[in-house]
DNA sequence: CGCGTGATTGAAACCCTTCAAGTTTAGTGG
DNA sequence: CCACTAAACTTGAAGGGTTTCAATCACGCG
């Protein structure tokens, strides 16, 4: 059980003490989700974090015009959730959906806080992970504020070459904040400049 | 010493044990910064968090055209820093500057990790604060992806009425990702619609 | 009072969107 | 394995929101 999660923690230098292992087996569970299946819906309370053991999830919102806006992709070894629900007991404001057939490990607030308490190395990992997440989000905000679509696209395929190949183009467009048509034109422009992925 | 920080922690239900108080006095320091003074520069290593006890700071980047893009404002009781430096020992990629004459408490990684280790209530506070920060950033990304300038502006003055009154308009424009001219026009439109702040 | 910073306004240009149509690709059932 | 269909991608033309550049106006501070 939780093989992928355990290996992930090891790679992050988490000291997998018997105590931590016991906590994991007591509080965690696994679940498989089919492509297109929805794990979290806006309006619902969902106090779970999902660690992606296999597959690919995405988090997105819909606006008043029904347009989707992708907030995050979560491939293997990423954690995705709606933090409003988990830490603040508010209803979610985003969807979490499986882009591919996936396997996730379900973490909850209980596990995270207890693991931090009983295991200093886990706490260090968690602090770093959260700060790193903040860093990524700031980087994305900076790009949205300062860079045109072409630059944002190049940044995306450089940062996430893996995801680029696994999701349809319109999802990348949605993540970048442009229309699929615009992304198509951006790619055409890049091709004309002899750019190769 | 650290009166504002102590009151802030109390308001967040942090249990201010003697042990934690001692750690604070051992590792924290205060500093006053004049309006316009710069605390962090891109390229420099700066392993400090700043808790704003009084005043207002801002974090911003400059792009290749020399244009500024404001990543965050930090009024009283906010923490600002460049997380690349603090947790990952990389050089900063943003400026941190005082918008007003300010007083800050300087926190470092050592304090934060130790405080989390010796004090469960501090750890809980810190976890919540980080998750809340992530939530705010996602909210902002969502707005940048989905909403036109007018909506983003209305959201800003609703969320940060205080900051709206304390910073020049061009800084708000920079935060929103538009030019000062555009913000001026947005405000004119709103005035025509009989909108009042 | 004069200077500099910030805010406003106008006109042209630009990036991106929208809408509509056509083309390609991928998946499914016969 | 082919045929069919739906989804994804491309392309074009028109329109909208925002930027750019330039000029003007308002205000606070030395």
> Edge-to-edge strand order for the sheet containing A102-108?
A29-33, A102-108, A48-54, A79-81
What are B55-104's pLDDT values in tens digits?
999 999 999 888 999 999 999 999 999 887 788 889 999 999 999 999 99
- Interface test mutation site (partner A, options B131, B152, B176, max chain A beta carbons within 10 A): B131
**pTM, two decimal places:** 0.94
Radius of gyration over every alpha carbon of chain B, rounded to an integer in angstroms: 18
- Interface test mutation site (partner B, options A74, A138, A140, max chain B beta carbons within 10 A): A138
Q: What is the pLDDT of residue A197?
A: 46
Task: Number of A to B CB contacts under 8 A, please give it.
Answer: 110
Question: Which three-class secondary structure state does DSSP give residue A49?
Answer: strand
Provide the residue-wise pLDDT of chain A in tens; the chain has 197 residues.
899 999 999 999 999 999 999 999 999 999 999 999 999 999 999 889 999 999 999 999 999 888 999 999 999 999 999 887 788 889 999 999 999 999 999 999 899 999 999 999 999 999 999 999 999 999 999 999 999 999 999 999 999 999 999 999 999 999 999 999 999 999 999 988 765 54
What are A107-129's pLDDT values in tens digits?
998 999 999 999 999 999 999 99
State the average pLDDT over residues B119-146.
95
Nearest one of A58, A144, A146 to A98, comparing CA atoms: A58
Within 7 Å of a protein beta carbon, the nucleotides of strand D are 7-13, 17-22
Q: What is the pLDDT of residue A194?
A: 67
What CATH number does the domain located at B3-145 have?
Answer: 2.60.120.10
CA distances from B17 to A52, A118, B115 (A): 39, 19, 11
Burial of B9 (0-12, 13-18, 19+ CB in 10 A): buried
Q: What is the pLDDT of residue B124?
A: 94
- In angstroms, what separates the C-alpha of B142 from chain A's closest C-alpha? 7
What are A81-93's pLDDT values in tens digits?
988 778 888 999 9
Q: What is the pLDDT of residue B197?
A: 46
Q: Using a CB-CB distance cutoff of 8 angstroms, which residues of chain B are in contact with residue A138?
A: 71-72, 83, 94, 137
Provide the residue ranges of all domains of chain B, joining segments of one domain with +: 3-145, 147-197
What CATH number does the domain located at A3-117 have?
Answer: 2.60.120.10
């Amino acid at each position: 059980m939780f093989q992928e999660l355990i290996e992930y923690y090891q790679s992050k230098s988490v000291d997998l003490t018997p105590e931590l292992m016991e906590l994991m087996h007591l509080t965690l569970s696994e679940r498989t989700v089919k492509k297109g299946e929805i794990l979290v819906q806006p309006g619902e309370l969902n106090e779970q974090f999902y660690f992606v053991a296999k597959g690919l999830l995405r988090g997105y919102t819909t606006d008043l015009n029904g347009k989707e806006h992708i907030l995050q992709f979560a491939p293997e070894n990423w954690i995705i959730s709606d933090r409003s629900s988990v830490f603040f007991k508010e209803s979610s404001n985003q969807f979490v959906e499986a882009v591919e057939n996936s396997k996730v490990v379900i973490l909850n607030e209980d596990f995270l806080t207890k693991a931090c308490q009983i295991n200093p190395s886990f706490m260090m990992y968690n602090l770093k992970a959260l700060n790193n997440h903040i860093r990524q989000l700031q980087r994305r905000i900076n790009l949205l504020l300062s860079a045109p679509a072409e630059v944002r696209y190049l940044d995306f395929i450089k940062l996430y070459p893996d995801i680029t190949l696994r999701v349809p183009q319109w999802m990348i467009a949605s993540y970048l904040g442009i229309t699929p048509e615009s992304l198509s034109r951006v790619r055409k422009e890049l091709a004309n400049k002899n750019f190769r992925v």
